[in-house]
């Protein structure tokens, strides 16, 4: 597990109430950062904040719906005001939008509504938060980490709209890296299989263990292993921007 001195740092973690985002929230808070947990309002968010605060971690609720730009702007403004600025933006939230896999051959099921929803939560959400946080990140000379997917690199995700949104996120990462340089570094991480115990992702692959046996590392990754890469990209990696790191157990090797 990587450690870094994040004392005095101010982070927003989207999707931080569960799964990979919770692992990232925990890692950043345990290393000294204040963390605004940007997630849908409700019991999941308040329960996570309550649990982490009881452990002595400096986290707070930043309720929002990442599909709505006004909601994102209000969340970022409130979080920045409370923390006195923003150093790191961790865009972890995403959603498959469908509850069952849609094969790429099933064009009929790929409706306009499905495309709009998949692009909104998996691609535009990251642009919305980056746009709202950009002035604060620029002032702090901070960093952004986006969450792509191996399906954004090669296709083959739970649906074509999901894969395309994640592919777009890899390109958005390069565009933001150019657009916000030199003050703000922007990178992405692509996970492959994440251990089902550490995520609430609505599509669960029944074959996750079987599939990950064929990986060079022979097992699914954990949220904590993903968080390690986030710590590296934010607290170190001072000459790295516009890149997508594959935290995939060797899936792409």
List active site positions: 162
What is the separation, in whole angstroms, between the first and last Cα of the chain? Answer: 23
Helix, strand, coil content of the chain in percent (nearest 5): 45, 15, 40
Using the rule CB under 6 A, which residue among 58, 65, 139, 211 binds ligand NAD?
A: 65
Using the rule CB under 6 A, which residue among 75, 119, 124, 194 binds ligand NAD?
A: 194
Contacts 24+ apart (CB under 8 A), 71-78: 72/125, 72/128, 72/129, 72/132, 73/128, 73/132, 75/36, 75/38, 75/132, 76/12, 76/129, 76/132, 76/133, 76/136, 77/132
Q: Which is nearer to ligand NAD, 139 or 224 (CB)?
A: 224
Q: Interacting stretch for ligand NAD, rule CB under 6 A, among 58-66, 107-115, 177-185, 235-243?
A: 58-66
Q: Which is nearer to ligand NAD, 21 or 142 (CB)?
A: 21
Number of chain residues interacting with ligand NAD (CB under 6 A): 26
Interface of this chain with ligand NAD, residues 33 to 52, rule: CB under 6 A: 39-40, 44
Strands in 59-132 per DSSP E: 59-63, 88-91
Q: Which two tokens stand for residue 166?
A: 């994640």
Interface of this chain with ligand NAD, residues 112 to 151, rule: CB under 6 A: 121, 147, 149
Using the rule CB under 6 A, which residue among 21, 161, 167, 249 binds ligand NAD?
A: 21
Per-residue x/- mask for ligand NAD, residues 77 to 116, rule CB under 6 A?
Answer: ---------------xxxx---------------------
Using the rule CB under 6 A, which residue among 6, 12, 13, 17 binds ligand NAD?
A: 17
Shortest approach of ligand NAD to residue 209 CB, angstroms? 12
Q: Interacting stretch for ligand NAD, rule CB under 6 A, among 12-20, 24-32, 126-134, 234-242?
A: 12-20
Indicate left, alpha or beta for 228 from its phi (over 0: left) and psi (-120 to 50: alpha): alpha
Q: Say how far apart CA 6 and CA 42 lie, in whole Å.
A: 28
Q: According to the binding rule CB under 6 A, does residue 191 interact with ligand NAD?
A: yes
User: 224 burial class (0-12, 13-18, 19+ CB within 10 angstroms)?
Assistant: middle
Shortest approach of ligand NAD to residue 239 CB, angstroms? 26
Question: At 52, phi and psi to the nearest 5?
Answer: -70, -40
Shortest approach of ligand NAD to residue 91 CB, angstroms? 8
Place of tokens 């609430």: 200
CB atoms within 10 A of CB 202: 12
- Torsion angle in degrees (nearest 10) through CA of 223, 236, 184, 167: -40
Using the rule CB under 6 A, which residue among 98, 159, 160, 199 binds ligand NAD?
A: 199
Place of tokens 């309720």: 63
Tell me which residues touch ligand NAD (CB under 6 A): 15, 17-21, 39-40, 44, 64-67, 92-95, 121, 147, 149, 191, 193-194, 199-201
């Amino acid at each position: 597990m990587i450690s870094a001195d994040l004392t005095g740092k101010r982070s927003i973690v989207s999707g931080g109430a569960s799964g990979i985002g919770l692992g990232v929230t925990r890692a950043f808070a345990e290393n000294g950062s204040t963390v605004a947990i940007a997630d849908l309002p409700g019991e999941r968010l308040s329960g996570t904040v309550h649990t982490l605060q009881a452990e002595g971690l400096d986290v707070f609720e930043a309720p929002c719906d990442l599909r709505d730009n006004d909601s994102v702007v209000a969340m970022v403004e409130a979080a920045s005001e409370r923390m006195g600025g923003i150093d790191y933006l961790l865009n972890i939230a995403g959603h498959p939008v469908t509850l069952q896999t849609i094969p790429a051959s099933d064009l009929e099921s790929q409706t306009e509504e499905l495309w709009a929803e998949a692009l909104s939560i998996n691609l535009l959400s990251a642009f919305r938060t980056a746009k709202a946080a950009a002035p604060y990140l620029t002032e702090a000379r901070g960093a952004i980490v986006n969450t792509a997917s191996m399906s954004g690199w090669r296709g083959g995700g739970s649906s074509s709209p999901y894969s395309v949104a994640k592919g777009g996120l890899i390109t958005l990462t390069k565009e933001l890296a150019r657009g916000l340089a030199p003050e703000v570094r922007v990178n992405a991480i692509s996970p492959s299989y994440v251990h089902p115990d550490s995520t609430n992702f609505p599509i669960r692959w029944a074959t996750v263990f079987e599939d990950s046996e064929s990986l060079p590392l022979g097992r699914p990754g954990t949220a904590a292993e993903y968080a390690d890469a986030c710590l590296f990209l934010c607290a170190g990696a001072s000459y790295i921007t516009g890149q997508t790191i594959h935290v995939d157990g060797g899936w792409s090797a």
